[in-house]
Amino acid sequence: MPVTPSTLVWFRGDLRLADNPALHAAAESGARVLAVFIHDDDAAGDWRPGTASRWWLSCSLARLDGALDGRLLELRGDPRELIPDLVRDLGLDSVYWNRCIEPWHRQCEESIKARLLASSIEVKTFNGSLLWDPPTISKPDGSPYRVFTPFYRKGCLENGIPPRTPLPTPASLDLISPADAPLAGGSPGRSGFVPPDIDLSLWQPGEDGASQALDRFLSAAVHRYDRCRDLPAVPGTSRLSPHLHFGEISPNQVWYAVRERCTNGRLSGDGDRYLSEIGWREFSNYLLYHNPTLPDTNLQRRFDRFPWGVDESLMHAWQRGETGFPLVDAGMRELATTGYMHNRVRMVTASFLVKNLLTDWRQGERWFWEHLVDADLANNSASWQWVAGCGADAAPYFRIFNPVAQGRKFDPEGAYVRRFVPELASLPDRYIHSPFDAPADVLEQAGVRLGETYPEPVTDLSSSRQAALDAYRSTGATA
């Protein structure tokens, strides 16, 4: 009687059943499947998941385990040892996984693949997290792109290879019970975890939560995305970023769902604008693939001599949302209480830190990494470098987001500020973004005492802007 082959499917940033190329291929092969997730924080070093990410991961893994009928083997240890040991001890025939972009994941994958192939074990890897595989995209001369628009329009949209259409959830899976698998030198992966001090009711981690978030976006916000995406008080964005980061939904599923909903003979402007934001996610991953030191090193090396510093008191004021600039403070408090921050406000808070406070962008990057539920190495590092001016296709350094002007433009009635900085709620709209400009009687009537109930500004916007421009010129660039 023939023996049914068996395959180990290694889950990482693909915590879903639908449109999971590795899982789909294993199911199509007819093999018995051992589903494995391995916590390997040591390999990530300084980039092990932050508090908010660990909470989301623990919830998402629980949902995945439920979808797999309680047959997800969750271990903690070194995958380079655990996976070959599991293959040997269980007599498995093959190992499938979806590739990751993070440098330590790529090194780990190469090591495991070489070891398995040397033992005549079949290895199959897939692109399950991006629309376009980074090695397949290059400029005509073969070099990697460094500017977003030609990368997205020419390298991606005009390369003649459309994104892969989403794969269905496997109709059936012959799953191997974790009880049949030895620990292979590892230890059980689950452990008690204290969730972060955020409003957890705002989020529904897991594949079902991702699907519902996409449905909500497609039913309303996508059709006004272009005009509402920058308004932090309005539910004008998809809020899919944590679901995409943990692979509870694939960009392919999002891509084709948006195109289906927003095309009537031609893709709508709102749909095209949203898909270009998915393109920015692709670009960030592409940059990390070609620049593994992106999280730590200025992409434009002239910024190595930029006089960034760290003033602890200013840094703490920024972290606590006590800078005296309401839009900045609202953003930092949104982050602290929800594990999230609206993208427009992310740009403003980041610009304020690195330009008005001349603080090293890596300090802000690490704070976001610790507190964001959607903390993603590629997006986080590329975005901080973009704002700081030292990255690829970066914002010019002389583009310094004025938090007062940004607040008046994108939160004109102060609804966002009033939600997260309630001590200013009674101020008139005219002063909600600049309480330091309000007359004494207006402040008194609103119950605001600067320096007591709400802080005085930690810096002067005009002089700090000039200091930033002077520092920028010290790198040898001209504004």
Strands 187-188 and 72-76: antiparallel
Instruction: Determine which one of 97, 280, 367, 386 is catalytic.
Output: 280
Instruction: Determine which one of 81, 122, 308, 370 is catalytic.
Output: 308
> 438 phi and psi, to 5 degrees?
-75, 140
Sign of CA dihedral 401, 402, 406, 409: negative
Q: Are 372 and 340 within 8 A, CB to CB?
A: yes
* Alpha carbons 432 and 411: distance in angstroms, whole number: 10
Instruction: Determine which one of 81, 122, 277, 423 is catalytic.
Output: 277
Instruction: Determine which one of 81, 122, 322, 343 is catalytic.
Output: 343
Q: Are 32 and 174 within 8 A, CB to CB?
A: yes
Which tokens go with 456? 């005085």
Single out the residue of 423, 420, 341 nearest to residue 384, CA to CA: 341
Q: Tell me whether residue 280 is one of the annotated catalytic residues.
A: yes
Q: Tell me whether residue 384 is one of the annotated catalytic residues.
A: yes
Instruction: Determine which one of 367, 384, 386, 402 is catalytic.
Output: 384
Sheet holding 32-39, edge to edge: 122-126, 94-98, 6-11, 32-39, 72-76, 187-188
Q: Tell me whether residue 277 is one of the annotated catalytic residues.
A: yes
Q: Tell me whether residue 361 is one of the annotated catalytic residues.
A: yes
* Alpha carbons 226 and 237: distance in angstroms, whole number: 10
Q: Which residue has the tokens 């977003």?
A: 148
Q: Tell me whether residue 343 is one of the annotated catalytic residues.
A: yes
**How many other CB atoms are found less than 10 A from the CB of residue 307?**
12
* Alpha carbons 262 and 276: distance in angstroms, whole number: 14
* Alpha carbons 154 and 47: distance in angstroms, whole number: 32
Instruction: Determine which one of 361, 367, 369, 386 is catalytic.
Output: 361
Q: Tell me whether residue 308 is one of the annotated catalytic residues.
A: yes
Q: Are 338 and 199 within 8 A, CB to CB?
A: yes
**How many other CB atoms are found less than 10 A from the CB of residue 6?**
18
* Alpha carbons 356 and 318: distance in angstroms, whole number: 11
Active site residues: 277, 280, 308, 343, 361, 384
